[in-house]
């Protein structure tokens, strides 16, 4: 019998059974960022940041804290919520653009920190769409019988790749991790997914550096064409959302919650309006977390679950868009 088949021979599906999050304790307000910029002779203001992005706070990791550390904390919370022991995990996928090191993968380092050995563990690099990509891969592996219990994680320390001389980007990002336990189930949880990339737009959001000969070649700092990203993001997120609705035989009216990538409140609200979803169905944490890249969707999901807003049986739309240019959506019954 297929390892993920039920006793009646039904095809296995996958369901999220637990969520977890981790934010570093150091929280910086917009006033803190304005002061930091002023020390560099750069003018900004709380009003300027909030009006353009909706962001009021972000968290930065302390020196000596790594992506895998944040991921491990988020995973422990998710395992506890699911009532699952770490030893039951047979797949670990980490979505990150800020790994602990060039190699091995952050997933392998995380595996060791969780006291697990032997299961498959690897990273996915799709920047801010990374968690949606990773969740889709984990769902496919469970459906194929390659795994029964997966940890799917988004974890980032973007504060270490920010250009603090660029006020248009350094105020946007924060650090954090979010995780879910995804388990085989006889009833569908993940209903449909839709993933895309368009490498023609690599230049609008990137860190154009690499390691060669013991030195960094190019720039190790984030650069972004904000207007170009904004223009692309709203359109592709709407298209991906409609694609997963069509694949699953659902409509906008069936969506109880929209959990988009937490990059910019205007992009998020614009996507909700295009889908004719009331804004009270939009899960928003960008004001408190900033843009945590691959961690933003699972962090927002965890917040909504722990607040009691997302309940078992609710239909949830997850969306991500990021450098690459990458984007995608997942529709699920929680």
User: Tell me, what DSSP letter sits at residue 21?
Assistant: E
- Biggest CA pair distance of the chain: 68
From 59, 77, 261, 289, the catalytic residue: 261
Report which of 87, 138, 91 is spatially closest to residue 116, judged by C-alpha positions. Answer: 87
What are residue 93's DSSP bridge partners?
122, 152
Annotated active-site residue 261? The verdict is: yes
Annotated active-site residue 77? The verdict is: no
CA angle 59, 323, 69 (to 5 degrees): 35
From 67, 75, 128, 149, the catalytic residue: 128
* Residue 14 near residue 183, CB atoms below 8 Å: yes
Q: Say how far apart CA 299 and CA 302 lie, in whole Å.
A: 5
Give Cα 147 distance to the centre of its chain: 21
Annotated active-site residue 128? The verdict is: yes
User: Under the phi-then-psi rule, with left for phi > 0, alpha for psi from -120 to 50, and beta for the rest, what region is 170?
Assistant: alpha
Q: Say how far apart CA 239 and CA 327 lie, in whole Å.
A: 10
Provide the annotated active-site residues: 128, 261, 291
């Amino acid at each position: 019998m297929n390892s993920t088949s039920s006793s009646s021979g039904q095809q296995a599906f996958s369901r999220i059974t637990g969520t977890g999050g981790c934010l570093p304790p150091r929280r910086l307000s917009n006033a803190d960022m304005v002061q930091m910029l002023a020390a560099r002779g750069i003018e900004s203001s709380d009003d300027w940041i909030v009006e353009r992005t909706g962001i009021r706070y972000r968290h930065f990791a302390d020196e000596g804290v790594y992506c895998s550390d944040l991921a491990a904390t988020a995973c422990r919370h998710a395992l506890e919520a699911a009532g699952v022991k770490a030893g039951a995990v047979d797949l670990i996928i980490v979505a990150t653009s800020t790994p602990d090191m060039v190699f091995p993968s952050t997933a392998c380092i995380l595996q060791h920190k969780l006291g697990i050995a032997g299961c498959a563990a690897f990273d996915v690099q799709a920047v801010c769409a990374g968690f949606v990509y990773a969740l889709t891969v984990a769902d496919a592996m469970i459906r194929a019988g390659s795994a029964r219990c997966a940890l799917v994680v988004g974890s980032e320390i973007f504060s270490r790749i920010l250009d603090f001389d660029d006020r248009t980007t350094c105020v946007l990002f924060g650090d954090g991790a979010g995780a879910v336990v995804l388990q085989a189930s006889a009833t569908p949880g993940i209903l449909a997914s839709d993933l895309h990339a368009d490498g023609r737009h690599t230049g609008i959001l990137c860190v154009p550096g690499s390691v060669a000969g013991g030195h960094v070649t190019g720039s190790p700092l984030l650069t972004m064409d904000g207007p170009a990203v904004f223009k692309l993001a709203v359109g592709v997120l709407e298209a991906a959302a409609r694609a997963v609705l069509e694949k699953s035989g659902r409509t906008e009216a069936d969506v109880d919650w929209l959990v988009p990538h937490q990059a910019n409140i205007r992009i998020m609200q614009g996507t909700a309006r295009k889908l004719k979803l009331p804004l009270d169905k939009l899960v928003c944490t960008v004001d408190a977390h900033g843009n945590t890249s691959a961690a933003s969707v699972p962090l927002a999901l965890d917040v909504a679950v722990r607040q009691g807003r997302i309940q078992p049986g609710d239909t949830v739309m997850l969306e991500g868009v990021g450098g690459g240019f990458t984007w995608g959506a997942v529709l699920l019954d929680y």
